[in-house]
């Protein structure tokens, strides 16, 4: 008979494990919701079906699958749910941000992102987990023949290493993204079904295959 009862065990699954850092990565997907006219951005760790967007359809869900006109340089904050158990972040967070840009006739338009990871306390107050990182600039070129083109790609970033930062019960994690673009026809995507989207761009319809925003957050493995 043991002198002390065993420590409670929690079954926590990870999307992948980095053996070198001793961290288990959990993947979160960006979603955008519109509830009675109130827009919210969140991070969920599950993919789910959203339906395909097509501007020919009267039931198009444009309010929840993407954000357009990034030339306004919007700042988007995507939050996880509040943590019910404390966790320790340890490692390098990875972010993949899908964007698209379509230039005017004979022109070139650009887009880039500035990203950082934040802890939101129960107060609430923001505590920076990583310094801001700015991506390379993505440019879209007008295709020949006057047909509008859409450059759709993912901006992938490795954020600065985080060493043993505790997320307490009642706190949450926030991904802050600032989009900067000189293009009126520009998009940021929040499609957790990871499906392609058919979109009307100026004088034609195009398909955007990359629409799934992901952030992989490293948590210290419990047995270390």
Measured between alpha carbons, how far is 92 from 208 in angstroms, rounded to an integer? 29
Q: Report the run of H or E that residue 65 belongs to, with start and end.
A: helix 62-65
Q: What is the pLDDT of residue 108?
A: 66
Domain encompassing residue 88: 22-220
Question: Is a pLDDT exceeding 50 seen at residue 85?
Answer: yes
In a domain? residue 82: yes
Q: What is the pLDDT of residue 15?
A: 87
Give the residue-averaged pLDDT of 110-126.
Answer: 95
- 110 and 139 Cβ atoms separated by less than 8 Å: yes
- Model confidence pLDDT, tens digit, residues 194-207: 778 877 776 677 88
Q: In CATH, what number is assigned to the domain containing residue 149?
A: 2.60.120
Domain count for the chain: 1
- Model confidence pLDDT, tens digit, residues 133-151: 999 998 766 554 445 577 8
Q: What is the pLDDT of residue 216?
A: 97
In a domain? residue 2: no
For residue 43, say if its preceding peptide bond is cis, omega within 30 degrees of 0: no
Q: What is the pLDDT of residue 56?
A: 44
Measured between alpha carbons, how far is 3 from 183 in angstroms, rounded to an integer? 68
Q: What is the pLDDT of residue 54?
A: 46
Measured between alpha carbons, how far is 25 from 221 in angstroms, rounded to an integer? 9
Q: What is the pLDDT of residue 70?
A: 86
Q: What is the mean pLDDT of the chain?
A: 82
């Amino acid at each position: 008979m043991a002198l002390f009862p065993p420590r409670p065990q929690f079954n926590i699954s990870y999307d992948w494990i980095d053996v070198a850092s001793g961290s288990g990565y959990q993947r979160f997907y960006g979603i955008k919701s519109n509830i009675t006219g109130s827009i919210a951005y969140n991070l969920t760790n599950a993919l789910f079906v959203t339906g395909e967007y097509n501007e020919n359809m009267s039931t198009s869900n444009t309010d929840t699958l993407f954000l357009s006109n990034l030339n306004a340089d919007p700042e988007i904050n995507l939050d996880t749910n509040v943590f019910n158990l404390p966790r320790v972040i340890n490692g390098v967070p990875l972010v993949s941000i899908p964007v698209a840009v379509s230039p005017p006739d004979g022109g070139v338009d650009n887009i880039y992102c500035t990203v950082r990871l934040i802890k939101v306390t129960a107060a609430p107050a923001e505590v920076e987990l990583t310094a801001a990182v700015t991506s390379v600039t993505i440019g879209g070129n007008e295709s020949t023949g006057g047909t509008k083109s859409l450059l759709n790609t993912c901006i992938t970033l490795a954020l600065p290493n985080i060493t043993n930062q505790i997320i307490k019960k009642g706190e949450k994690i926030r991904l802050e993204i600032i989009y900067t673009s000189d293009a009126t026809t520009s998009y940021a995507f929040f499609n957790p079904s990871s499906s392609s989207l058919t979109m009307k761009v100026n004088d034609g319809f195009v398909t955007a295959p990359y629409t799934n925003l992901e952030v992989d957050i490293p948590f210290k493995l419990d047995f270390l």
